[in-house]
């Protein structure tokens, strides 16, 4: 109920599902997220597919778990722009939630931790379905094409994609400088301002449903998967923080 309810935004027009739309692979298809401020946000909306398995969260890893993310977008001025107390007041005057919270928690208290827990519990159910790749790995040789099999060999070999995009969700949850961010867009470096190595590092995203989730990169700056491959092939900006897996081929 909470995830799809625009009551969580000041204007009553934006819900969690606005930026994390199930029909858009739990993203929004935009280069940059747009909330209450029509100028938009500096980052694109990440997919929520397999979000339970990719903690810490946020493009710079500042959130330890899903619960700690919840009120970030709700209270963000450019995002949903609602204070915690205002949200609790709104839910407390809604008959649907006055009934729902006791049913879920055993008493009528509507609190921030309970709102966080409810949203996080739902988001942990957003898990990738079986794909042709999964069927191939399970033994169905006809599940993917010969070209895809050659691509997987490259993915794990010369291209070194699996250095970071490994495991069931095709991400190891690491943070990497892939040589694209510039100037003040320093990602994880904001959390560790004295570290040169962590500057320009951003979270490695899952590749689940990746073909349906353009544009790409944390800022939506790359339009197609072909352009992503070309960018990696060129090696990106050469600097001390750049990942050793990113180099000209």
Q: Is the dihedral of CA 201, 165, 19, 24 positive or negative?
A: positive
- Tens digit of each residue's pLDDT, the chain (249 residues): 999 999 999 999 999 999 999 999 999 999 999 999 999 999 999 999 999 999 999 999 999 999 999 999 999 999 999 999 999 999 999 999 999 999 999 999 999 999 999 999 999 999 999 999 999 999 999 999 999 999 999 999 999 999 999 999 999 999 999 999 999 999 999 999 999 999 999 999 999 999 999 999 999 999 999 999 999 988 889 999 999 988 887
In a domain, 245, yes or no: no
Q: Is the dihedral of CA 189, 193, 172, 22 positive or negative?
A: negative
Is the domain of 226 the same as that of 145?
yes
Is the domain of 16 the same as that of 107?
yes
Which 3 state secondary structure label does DSSP give 169?
coil
The domain boundary, picked from 88, 123, 158, lies at: 123
User: Which CATH number fits the domain that encloses residue 208?
Assistant: 1.10.760.10
Kindly write down the DSSP assignment for every residue of 17-56, as one continuous string: HHHSBGGGTTB-S-SS---SSTT--SSPPPP-TTGGGS-S
Is the domain of 47 the same as that of 119?
yes
pTM: 0.93
Is the domain of 115 the same as that of 197?
no
Exposure b/e, 209-222, CB count within 10 A at least 16 = b: bbeebbbbbbbbbb
Those residues whose C-beta lies under 8 Å from the C-beta of residue 88, and which sit 6 or more positions away, are: 110, 111, 112, 115
Q: How far apart, in Å, are the Cα atoms of 29 and each of 25, 44, 69, 90, 109? A: 9, 9, 21, 30, 37
Number of structural domains in the chain: 2
In a domain, 148, yes or no: yes
Cβ–Cβ under 8 Å, residues 32 and 219: yes
Domain residues for 207? 132-234
Is the domain of 20 the same as that of 101?
yes
């Amino acid at each position: 109920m909470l995830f799809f309810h625009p009551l969580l935004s000041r204007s009553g027009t934006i819900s969690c599902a606005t930026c994390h739309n199930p029909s858009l692979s739990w993203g929004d298809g935009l280069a940059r997220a747009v909330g209450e401020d029509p100028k938009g946000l500096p980052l694109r909306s990440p997919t929520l597919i397999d979000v339970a398995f990719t903690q810490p969260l946020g493009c710079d890893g500042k959130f330890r778990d899903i619960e700690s993310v919840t009120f970030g977008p709700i209270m963000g001025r450019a995002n949903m722009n609602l204070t915690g107390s205002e949200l609790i007041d709104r839910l407390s005057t809604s008959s649907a939630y006055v009934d729902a919270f006791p049913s879920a928690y055993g008493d009528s208290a509507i609190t921030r931790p309970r709102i966080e827990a409810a949203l996080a519990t739902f988001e942990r159910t957003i898990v990738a379905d079986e794909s042709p790749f999964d069927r191939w790995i399970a033994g169905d040789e006809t599940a993917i094409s010969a070209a895809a099999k050659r691509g997987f060999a490259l993915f794990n070999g010369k291209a070194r994609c699996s250095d970071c995009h490994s495991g069931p969700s095709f991400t190891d949850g690491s943070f990497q400088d892939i040589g694209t961010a510039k100037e003040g867009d320093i990602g994880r470096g904001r959390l560790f301002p004295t570290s040169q190595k962590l500057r320009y590092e951003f979270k490695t995203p899952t590749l689940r449903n990746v073909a349906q989730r353009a544009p790409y990169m944390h800022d939506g700056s790359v339009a197609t998967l072909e352009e992503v491959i070309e960018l990696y092939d060129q090696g990106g900006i050469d600097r001390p923080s750049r990942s050793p897996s990113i180099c000209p081929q």
